[in-house]
Amino acid sequence: MSTATESDPRTEAGTPLVELSDVSKYYGNVKALEGVSLEVHAGEISCVLGDNGAGKSTLIKIIAGLHQHDAGSFTIEGEEARLSSPREALDRGIATVYQDLAVVPLMPVWRNFFLGSEPTKGFGPFKHLDARAMRETTRSELLRMGIDLRDVDQPIGTLSGGERQCVAIARAVYFGAKVLVLDEPTAALGVKQSGVVLKYVAAARDAGLGVVLITHNPHHAYLVGDRFVLLKRGTMAGSHLKSEIALEELTRQMAGGSELEQLSHELERAQGPEHLGGHPMH
């Protein structure tokens, strides 16, 4: 019989924080996901790659508690789960940061950091927001993640897209998330801003969180990822550990290597003189 001081053998064996096994989701006759598997481990980044319509958003919705899966299994720390709401997902330690961040642009950074979870002082009719504590906590938590904001009183709308993503990541870490799901955090950003965001994604991993990075950019995924799952039209097109695949091969698979080769042959033929009215172009 094990004593209370002994650690759970499943944890020692590396039980994933979140695991999806052969998960499927149907909307009427439409198969949005079919037979998709994903492991998310503490201190690791699992990347989900795919183009638009590959099933990435459906996968996010299942992990985030917005939708429930129709087949397969979804476990959180080894326990079978069927989340009924995003609030339940948060209570289980799963925080999702969407591409179109839910921020109030005209409110200061510190108000957005605590939005919906504001600490108060006083009692009854004298209860009021503890603005000083929120300002100090926001500043120190951002600094702890390596984010040095000049002024947490500035409206969050004045921050760059990358900085807003970083505030959202720091917020999830502060409020105790174990799993952080990031929906295309670099999609609308340039190279420099993308680099800033990826740095904080790595900081969340180093803080011990399990990170799910949803992206269509294999270069960004390969910079930080430990595991890669490729989705194509709702099905698994590949699953790899970083040690098993080079960036070139990941990029080729992501781009649909064989389909591109086929397309290039078709395009070469299409450009022949016979397709241009028999007259070579000058």
Instruction: Quick: pLDDT tens for 144-189.
Output: 888 888 799 999 999 888 888 889 999 998 999 999 999 999 988 8
Per the CB < 8 A criterion, the answer to whether 180 and 169 are in contact is: yes
User: Letter for the amino acid at 182?
Assistant: L
Architecture of domain 38-106+172-272: 3-Layer(aba) Sandwich (3.40)
Name which of 198, 178, 172, 177 is nearest 187 in CA terms. 198
Residues 205 and 211: their CA atoms lie apart, in Å, by: 6
Whole-number pLDDT of residue 274: 54
Name which of 183, 196, 23 is nearest 100 in CA terms. 183
Residues 103 and 117: their CA atoms lie apart, in Å, by: 14
Instruction: Quick: pLDDT tens for 258-281.
Output: 666 677 777 876 655 555 555 555
Instruction: Quick: pLDDT tens for 13-24.
Output: 489 999 999 999
Whole-number pLDDT of residue 261: 67
Question: Given phi > 0 = left and psi -120 to 50 = alpha, else beta, which region is 72?
Answer: left
Instruction: Quick: pLDDT tens for 43-82.
Output: 999 999 998 889 999 999 999 999 999 999 999 999 999 9
- For residue 223, count other CB atoms closer than 10 A to its CB: 17
Residues 179 and 17: their CA atoms lie apart, in Å, by: 7
Residues 207 and 115: their CA atoms lie apart, in Å, by: 23
Main-chain phi, psi angles of 117, to 5 degrees: -135, 40
Q: Where are the domains of the chain?
A: 38-106+172-272
Whole-number pLDDT of residue 9: 35
Task: Give the pTM.
Answer: 0.82
Q: Which of the four pLDDT bands, split at 50, 70 and 90, describes residue 100? A: confident
Residues in the chain: 282
Q: Which of the four pLDDT bands, split at 50, 70 and 90, describes residue 120? A: low
Instruction: Quick: pLDDT tens for 223-265.
Output: 999 999 999 999 999 999 999 999 999 999 887 766 666 777 7
Six token digits for residue 23: 């998960």
Residues 60 and 168: their CA atoms lie apart, in Å, by: 17
Dihedral of the CA atoms 183, 253, 220, 164 (nearest 10)?
A: -20
Residue 26, CA distances (Å) to 49, 70, 71 in order = 20, 7, 9
User: Letter for the amino acid at 224?
Assistant: V
Residues 87 and 65: their CA atoms lie apart, in Å, by: 8
- Across the range 88-108, mean pLDDT stands at 88
- Across the range 81-106, mean pLDDT stands at 89
